[in-house]
């Protein structure tokens, strides 16, 4: 970003990955200004966010170079789209887990040749990045691990499977003992697949270390997010969201260290009463469909309208970092049992029933002192669109104001969304 | 103190001047392709001490003329309850949006619904349909009102409904019945929204489409409580925006 930083030319690396370099340049040219206007225009940001500014400026550069170096050292790169894919197992087998690009409209006309138009923007986006050859992450991935969290993804992975090495985990949609047994078997299948891919065998000490490392990342994110419960918001919702989004693909120990540094700063800000929002800013909890980078649409609208987002009950939010894998060690089998239970404990809308998600939202609204909740569903994201009704009803019964939004990645509804969000804030 | 409330909507720009809370002047102009300039003409008409903008162009208006902004939802709630203190709900069908507002104490917005994305079932929708049927706007409303029954219209999307209307015309359906069907479709949808968040009323029906006698008749006929239509339904937003300075 700064003139003093030497700009590295990554063109050769991108060509080597088979990217469509001119199209990729156009993508980067769009992301830079978007990040500037959404992020760098904010005032009084924590200094630690400088790390994320740097990461974003190198989103397809330095991090991709690191992944190539990691592969050259014999490691693997595993692409994922979901919080259910166990990062611990990937790391224990010498892999780096990378959340793949799915947050921007790209090559949708091409996507609509292979997927129905009425598919959610997230799925269309990852397919667009693949078809358009503009995502260096997926092109670096030795394997994409998919999961059956919704019909759209499930069927899209069949198409992706023709273009890329893909392994799909069957995520059960209920949480009974027999479903747990299925998921446990899927964990074993993943281990076998990754052992085959990496040529390594899963070792207990490596798994123990990976569990601790990934838990440390979650603990750091828990600390950062706990600070947002303070009456004077020490960080914007946009910045907190970005930290989680980046956590999906950044180097784990480094990210942990950087997030902890921000948490230190936020804790000091709380002591000193420093806030990024006026004292009377309305506090909003956002729940619903995942927000992949660079999808900052709803947060940006809320915070441009004078509100402050204090928590996310999202896969790019609490569902990502809220629960830990127990660290009591034991045999590989015992650790895989613990991993099975931890991941099955996530309350995604693909499960039925899924009352625990509603409990999570109500509890978080209280913990974070939210004045209102925005339920955000991507258009055509069936599971969250359906649960929007359940959540709305439960929140009304709990006396918590709620605004339901259905949208996608386009800006055509920005005017109407702003009006609705502003009116919601005025109402609170 | 003289307060100017400005409502820059998709079809019209409305201005209301208040002196100590009483209306001293008001004006309406077409938004046209340059709503900022249309608003400037109105702003220049008279002096004001404070200005509050609402409607689609509210943020642009604040940049151009200063003052503050309030959403049309809050403004309509405020304006409607000042005109009718007993009102418990507001229906505002404008050029591009439909809003249903539940009112709490002192005209405060307790809840609201608004269309998401397109201009389904709004003033713009009626304009497009009138053109497809070869009617003027008020001519279509009169025909709809006079029709013995309506033809069922399944789509509220302006583009799909236009195709549907074209299909009906080619099948030889009576155009007055098609017009009635279009009004029925909007009324049914609107009444559903009212039932969800603001059943009972009294309901204030405001916005440009409240000047359409067929819509007024259908909403009144289908709503459980009283329906009140202000004499100048179009300027309720500008009026409410001006009143909001007191809050």
B109 touches A at CB < 8 Å: yes
pLDDT single digits (tens) A298-345: 999 999 999 999 999 999 999 999 999 999 989 999 999 999 999 999
Structure tokens at A54: 């740097």
Matching CATH number, B1-84+234-247, of 3.40.50.2300, 3.30.70.20, 3.30.43.10, 3.30.420.40: 3.30.420.40
Nearest-CB residue to A426 (from B109, B114, B116): B109
Indicate the burial class of B165 (C-beta count within 10 angstroms; 0-12, 13-18, 19 or more).
Answer: buried
By mean pLDDT, which of A3-7, A278-282, B180-184 is the weakest? A3-7
Note the ipTM here: 0.88
- Element housing A313 (H / E): strand A308-313
Note the pLDDT of residue A2.
Answer: 45
Note the pLDDT of residue A6.
Answer: 59
- Identify whether the C-beta of residue B70 lies closer than 8 Å to the C-beta of residue B52: yes
- Identify whether the C-beta of residue B192 lies closer than 8 Å to the C-beta of residue B185: no
How much of chain A, in percent, has pLDDT values that exceed 90? 96
DSSP string, A76-106: EEEEESSTTS-HHHHHHTTEEEEEPP-SS--
Structure tokens at B196: 């969800």
Indicate the burial class of A98 (C-beta count within 10 angstroms; 0-12, 13-18, 19 or more).
Answer: buried
A413 touches B at CB < 8 Å: yes
A426 touches B at CB < 8 Å: yes
Indicate the burial class of A2 (C-beta count within 10 angstroms; 0-12, 13-18, 19 or more).
Answer: exposed
CA A246, A252, A258, A264 dihedral sign is: positive
Give the C-alpha separation, B60 to A30, whole Å: 25
Mean pLDDT across A237-252: 98
Give the C-alpha separation, B42 to B40, whole Å: 5
Structure tokens at B59: 């943020």
Cross-chain residue pair B112–A427, CB shorter than 8 Å? yes
Mean pLDDT across A161-180: 97
Cross-chain residue pair A416–B72, CB shorter than 8 Å? no
How much of chain B, in percent, has pLDDT values that exceed 90? 76
Nearest-CB residue to A426 (from B74, B97, B114): B74
**DSSP 8-state symbol, B21:** T
- Residues paired with residue B98 on neighbouring β-strands, in sequence order: B93
How many Å lie between the alpha carbon of A427 and the closest alpha carbon of chain B? Answer: 6
Cross-chain residue pair B114–A413, CB shorter than 8 Å? no
Give the C-alpha separation, B214 to B93, whole Å: 13
Give the C-alpha separation, A188 to A135, whole Å: 29
Note the pLDDT of residue B240.
Answer: 96
Cross-chain residue pair A427–B108, CB shorter than 8 Å? yes
SS3 B99: strand
Note the pLDDT of residue A3.
Answer: 46
pLDDT-derived band of residue B121, with 50, 70 and 90 as boundaries?
A: confident
A423 touches B at CB < 8 Å: yes
Cross-chain residue pair B110–A427, CB shorter than 8 Å? yes
Indicate the burial class of A71 (C-beta count within 10 angstroms; 0-12, 13-18, 19 or more).
Answer: middle
Nearest-CB residue to A427 (from B97, B109, B114): B109
Close Cβ partners of B105 (under 8 Å, ≥ 6 residues apart) = none
- Identify whether the C-beta of residue A349 lies closer than 8 Å to the C-beta of residue A360: no
Q: Measuring CA to CA, which residue among A327, A334, A393 is closest to residue A358?
A: A393
How many Å lie between the alpha carbon of B117 and the closest alpha carbon of chain A? Answer: 5
Q: Is the pLDDT of residue B117 over 70?
A: no
Note the pLDDT of residue A1.
Answer: 44
Note the pLDDT of residue A5.
Answer: 53
By mean pLDDT, which of A343-347, A372-376, A412-416, B155-159 is the weakest? B155-159
Beta-carbon count within 10 A of A253 CB? 11
A419 touches B at CB < 8 Å: yes
- Residues paired with residue B91 on neighbouring β-strands, in sequence order: B100, B205
Give the C-alpha separation, A135 to B4, whole Å: 52
Cross-chain residue pair B73–A412, CB shorter than 8 Å? no
Mean pLDDT across A15-32: 94
Phi-psi region of A307 (alpha: psi -120 to 50; beta: other; left: phi over 0): beta
- pTM for the whole structure: 0.93
Give the C-alpha separation, A323 to A329, whole Å: 17
* Angle, helix A237-247 to helix A49-57, in steps of 10 degrees: 60
Phi-psi region of B2 (alpha: psi -120 to 50; beta: other; left: phi over 0): beta
Residue environment code for B106-119, b if the CB has 16+ CB neighbours within 10 A, otherwise e:
ebebbbbbbbbebb
Note the pLDDT of residue A7.
Answer: 72
First to last CA, chain B: 15
Q: Measuring CA to CA, which residue among B104, B123, B91, B106 is closest to residue B223?
A: B91
Residues 36-75 of B with CB under 8 A from A: 56, 70-74
Note the pLDDT of residue B199.
Answer: 79
pLDDT single digits (tens) A50-107: 999 999 999 999 999 999 999 999 999 999 999 999 999 999 999 999 999 899 999 9
pLDDT-derived band of residue B159, with 50, 70 and 90 as boundaries?
A: confident
Boundaries of CATH 3.30.420.40 in chain B? 1-84+234-247, 86-229
Note the pLDDT of residue B115.
Answer: 77
pLDDT single digits (tens) A373-384: 999 999 999 999
Q: Is the pLDDT of residue A415 over 60?
A: yes
- Residues paired with residue B22 on neighbouring β-strands, in sequence order: B19
Give the C-alpha separation, B136 to B149, whole Å: 20
Q: Is the pLDDT of residue B246 over 80?
A: no
- Quickly name the fold that domain B86-229 has: Nucleotidyltransferase; domain 5 (3.30.420)
Mutation to test the A interface, candidates B35, B54, B73, B118, most A Cβ within 10 Å: B73
Note the pLDDT of residue B116.
Answer: 66
A412 touches B at CB < 8 Å: yes
Task: Please confirm whether the linkage preceding B165 is cis (ω < 30° from 0).
Answer: no
Give the C-alpha separation, A243 to A130, whole Å: 25
Give the C-alpha separation, A165 to A68, whole Å: 18
SS3 B53: strand
Alpha helices in A251-381 (DSSP H): 252-272, 297-304, 318-321, 332-344, 355-367
First to last CA, chain A: 39
- Identify whether the C-beta of residue A209 lies closer than 8 Å to the C-beta of residue A255: no
Contact residues, chain A, for B73 at CB < 8 Å: 419-420, 423, 426-427
Note the pLDDT of residue A319.
Answer: 98
């Amino acid at each position: 970003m700064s003139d003093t930083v030497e700009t590295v030319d990554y063109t050769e690396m991108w060509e080597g990955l088979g990217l469509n370099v001119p199209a990729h340049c156009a993508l980067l040219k769009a992301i830079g200004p978007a990040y500037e206007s959404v992020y760098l225009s904010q005032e009084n940001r924590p200094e630690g966010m400088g790390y994320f500014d740097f990461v974003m400026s190198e989103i397809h550069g330095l991090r991709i170079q690191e992944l190539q170096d990691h592969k050259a050292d014999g490691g693997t790169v595993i692409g994922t789209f979901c919080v259910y894919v166990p990062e611990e197992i990937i790391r224990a087998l010498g892999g780096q887990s990378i959340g793949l690009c799915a947050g921007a409209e790209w090559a949708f006309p091409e996507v609509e040749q292979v997927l129905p138009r009425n598919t959610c923007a997230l799925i269309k986006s990852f397919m667009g990045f693949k078809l358009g050859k503009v995502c260096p992450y997926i092109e670096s991935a030795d394997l994409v691990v998919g999961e059956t969290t919704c019909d759209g993804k499930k069927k899209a992975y069949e198409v992706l499977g023709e273009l890329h090495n893909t392994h799909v985990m069957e995520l059960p949609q209920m949480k009974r003992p027999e479903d747990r047994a299925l998921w446990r078997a899927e964990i074993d299948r993943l281990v076998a697949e990754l052992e085959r891919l990496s040529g390594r065998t899963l070792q207990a000490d490596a798994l123990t270390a990976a569990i601790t490392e990934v838990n440390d990342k979650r603990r750091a994110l828990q600390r950062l997010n706990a600070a947002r419960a303070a009456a004077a918001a020490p960080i914007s919702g946009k910045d907190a969201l970005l930290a989680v989004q980046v956590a999906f693909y950044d180097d784990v120990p480094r990210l942990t260290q950087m997030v902890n540094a921000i948490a230190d700063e936020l804790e000091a800000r709380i002591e000193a009463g420093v806030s990024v929002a006026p004292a009377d800013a309305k506090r909003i909890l956002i729940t619903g469909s995942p927000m992949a980078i660079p999808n900052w649409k709803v947060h940006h609208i809320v915070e441009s309208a004078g509100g402050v987002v204090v928590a996310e009950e999202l896969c790019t939010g609490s569902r990502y970092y809220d629960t830990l894998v127990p660290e009591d060690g034991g045999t590989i089998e015992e650790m895989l049992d613990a991993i099975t239970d931890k991941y099955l404990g996530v309350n995604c809308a693909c499960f039925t029933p899924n009352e625990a998600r509603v409990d999570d939202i109500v509890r978080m609204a209280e913990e974070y002192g939210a004045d209102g909740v925005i339920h955000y569903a991507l258009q055509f994201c069936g599971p969250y669109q359906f649960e929007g009704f359940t959540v709305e009803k439960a929140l009304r019964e709990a006396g918590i104001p709620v605004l339901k939004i259905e949208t996608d990645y386009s800006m055509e509804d920005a005017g109407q969304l702003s009006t609705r969000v502003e009116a919601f804030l005025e109402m609170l | 103190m003289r307060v100017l409330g400005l409502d820059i909507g998709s079809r019209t720009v409305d201005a209301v001047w208040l002196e100590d809370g009483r209306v001293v002047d008001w004006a309406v102009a077409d938004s046209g392709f340059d709503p900022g300039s249309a608003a400037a003409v109105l702003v220049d008409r008279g002096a004001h001490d404070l200005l509050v903008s609402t409607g689609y162009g509210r943020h642009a208006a604040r940049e151009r003329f200063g003052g503050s902004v309030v959403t049309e939802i809050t403004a309509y709630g405020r304006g409607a309850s000042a005109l009718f203190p007993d009102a418990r709900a507001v229906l505002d069908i404008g050029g591009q949006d439909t809003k249903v507002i539940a009112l709490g104490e002192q005209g405060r917005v307790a809840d609201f619904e608004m269309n998401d994305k397109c201009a389904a079932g709004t003033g713009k929708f009626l304009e497009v349909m009138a053109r497809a049927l070869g009617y003027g706007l008020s001519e279509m409303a009169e025909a709809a009102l006079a029709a013995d029954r309506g033809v069922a219209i399944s789509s509220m999307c302006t583009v799909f409904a236009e195709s549907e209307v074209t299909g009906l015309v080619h099948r030889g359906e009576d155009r007055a019945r098609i017009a009635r069907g279009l009004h029925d479709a909007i009324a049914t949808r609107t009444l559903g929204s009212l039932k969800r968040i603001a059943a009972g009323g009294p309901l204030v029906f405001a916005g440009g489409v409240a000047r359409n006698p067929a819509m007024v008749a259908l909403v009144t006929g289908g709503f459980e409580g009283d329906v009140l239509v202000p004499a100048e339904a179009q300027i309720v937003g500008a009026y409410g925006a001006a009143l909001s300075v007191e809050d």
